[in-house]
């Protein structure tokens, strides 16, 4: 029957699933790999699908639960961000691929219970970023960062989590919006997948995303303007004037949900800014579960991420909840922002 061999490549038009894409690219990039990272990501996507299902029901929280309030039986009902946190931990801890985890929702690291095998990777995540927007039906997201284990004891340690962003082997996010989209990179291109709810699979919808070199959007919470330092104020003034790389005013777009603001700017081009301010002198956003993974995505899509004075991926984390100012997006716009902090343009 040799003459009847089927060319499976002709099936590509039906859509490349995330499962196929990640397995194929891992095999191509590291033929000796045993599929650990692939398996880890597939478990993470399983958790994402469950979180997507629950966020879609968020308008029904008072009826179905996940409110953070007390139900009629007098029991405290879990909040959606705690629920997402639990789902990720429970779907990942038994896989044998992780040595330790860290979540924005936990003060300390999350160890792997003794009954499960210890693996070669460490996972840091923000289970549901922007969750204060849930009640208004605004897009929210899960952010993740994976690093290779560096400790050598019987179990993972804080050291495995406290690594510079440039050591990440994989990072990305899932955005729960008008559709559920996941974007990831292993350092070889940035790819986006949209969840097809009819089959429960993420299908490749945004192959090899490149952020425009220069954008036309700036995203910042301008309500904090009078609390910012001089470079941040002058920078935002510049984006509103013609004294910027574009030569005309940028549009202002701010959702207040980091993943949604970042994702829009990744596709359309632009810059997201969360500067240090008088209330949060180190910045509001967290280096490990927020800035690092998005910086890894931005860099691999041709963009940049900085605090203004230091590239995000070079920062040595001092603690699990280390906070940083974050300026991230199109390369020329971020370089322009850096010039304000380096004593150049108007600093
Ligand atoms: P969270 O991790 O508690 O959800 O806070 C992070 C969120 C980001 O999604 C968003 O970029 C930022 O906080 C918005 O902050 P602000 O309301 O100060 O503009
Ligand atoms: Mg967050």
Residues 6+ apart with CB under 8 A from 219: 252, 253, 254, 255, 261, 264, 265, 270, 271, 272, 273
DSSP string for residues in 112-130: PPTTS---SEEEEEEEEET
Tell me the CA–centroid distance for residue 120 and ligand 1, in Å: 31
Query: Residue whose CA is closest, atom 17 of ligand 1?
Result: 256
User: Maximum distance among all alpha carbons in the chain?
Assistant: 76
| Nearest-ligand number for the alpha carbon of 133 | 1
Token pair in block for residue 277: 């301010």
Closest among 344, 160, 133, 146 to 256, alpha carbons compared: 133
Pocket probe for ligand 1: among 133, 144, 225, 285, the residue whose CB has the most ligand atoms within 8 Å is 285
Choose the residue to mutate in 84, 106, 131, 257 for probing ligand 1, maximizing ligand atoms within 8 Å of C-beta. 257
Residue nearest to atom 16 of ligand 1 (CA): 256
Q: What is the pLDDT of residue 2?
A: 42
Q: What's the 3-state SS for 189-211? A: CEEEEEEECCCCEEEEEECCCCC
With a CB cutoff of 8 Å and minimum separation 6, the contacts of 226 are: none
The matching CATH number, chosen from 3.30.540.10, 3.40.50.300, 3.40.50.1820, 2.70.50.60, for 2-206 is 3.30.540.10
For the chain, give the mean pLDDT.
90
Residues 248-263 have pLDDT tens digits of: 999 999 999 999 999 9
Q: What is the distance between the alpha carbons of residues 202 and 99, in angstroms, rounded to a whole number?
A: 27
Q: What is the pLDDT of residue 56?
A: 85
Helix H or strand E encompassing 286 = strand 285-286
Instruction: Name beta bridge partners: 244.
Output: none
To test the ligand 1 pocket, which listed residue (277, 284, 293) has its Cβ within 8 A of the most ligand atoms?
284
Q: Which ligand is nearest to the CA of 142?
A: 2
User: Which CATH topology does 217-341 take?
Assistant: D-Maltodextrin-Binding Protein; domain 2 (3.40.190)
Identical fold for domains 2-206 and 217-341, yes or no, is no
Q: What does the pLDDT read at residue 14?
A: 57
- Ligand 1 first shell, C-beta below 6 A: 104, 126, 129-132, 221, 256-258, 284
The domain ranges of the chain are 2-206, 217-341
Cβ burial of 288 (10 Å; 0-12, 13-18, 19+) is buried
Which segments of the chain have a pLDDT < 50?
1-4, 6-13, 63, 71, 345-347
Q: Are the C-beta atoms of residues 118 and 112 closer than 8 Å to each other? A: yes
How many Å lie between the centroid of ligand 2 and the Cα of residue 128? 7
pLDDT of residue 131: 83
CA-nearest of 238, 204, 222 to 275 is: 222
């Amino acid at each position: 029957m040799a003459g009847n061999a089927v060319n499976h490549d002709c099936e590509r038009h039906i859509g490349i699933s995330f499962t196929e894409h990640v397995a194929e690219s891992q095999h191509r990039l590291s033929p000796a790999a045993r599929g650990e990272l692939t398996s880890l990501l597939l478990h993470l996507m399983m958790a994402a699908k469950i979180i997507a299902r629950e966020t879609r029901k968020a308008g029904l929280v008072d009826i179905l639960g996940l409110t953070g309030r007390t139900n009629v039986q007098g029991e405290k009902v879990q909040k959606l961000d705690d629920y997402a946190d639990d789902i990720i931990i429970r779907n990942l801890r038994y896989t044998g691929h992780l040595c330790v985890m860290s979540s924005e929702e936990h003060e300390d690291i999350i160890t792997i219970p003794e009954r499960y095998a210890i693996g070669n990777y460490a996972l840091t995540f923000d289970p549901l970023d922007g969750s204060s927007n849930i009640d208004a039906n605004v897009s929210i997201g899960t952010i993740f960062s994976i690093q290779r284990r560096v400790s050598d004891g019987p179990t993972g340690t804080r050291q495995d989590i406290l690594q510079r962003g440039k050591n990440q082997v994989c990072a990305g996010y899932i955005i729960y919006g008008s559709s559920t989209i996941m974007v990831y990179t292993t350092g070889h291109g940035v790819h986006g997948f949209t969840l097809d709810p009819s089959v429960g699979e993420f299908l490749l919808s945004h192959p090899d995303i490149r952020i425009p070199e220069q954008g036309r959007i700036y995203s910042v919470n301008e309500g904090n303007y009078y609390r910012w330092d001089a470079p941040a104020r002058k920078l935002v003034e510049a984006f509103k004037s013609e004294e910027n790389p574009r030569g005309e005013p940028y549009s202002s777009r701010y959702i207040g949900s980091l993943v949604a603001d970042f994702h829009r700017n990744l596709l359309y081009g632009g810059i997201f800014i969360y500067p240090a301010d008088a209330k949060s002198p180190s910045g509001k956003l967290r280096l490990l579960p927020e800035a690092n993974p998005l910086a890894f995505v931005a860099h691999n899509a041709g963009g940049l991420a900085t605090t203004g004075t230091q590239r995000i991926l070079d920062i040595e984390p001092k603690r699990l909840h280390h906070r940083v100012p974050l300026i991230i997006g199109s390369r020329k716009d971020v370089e322009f922002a850096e010039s304000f902090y380096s004593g150049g343009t108007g600093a």
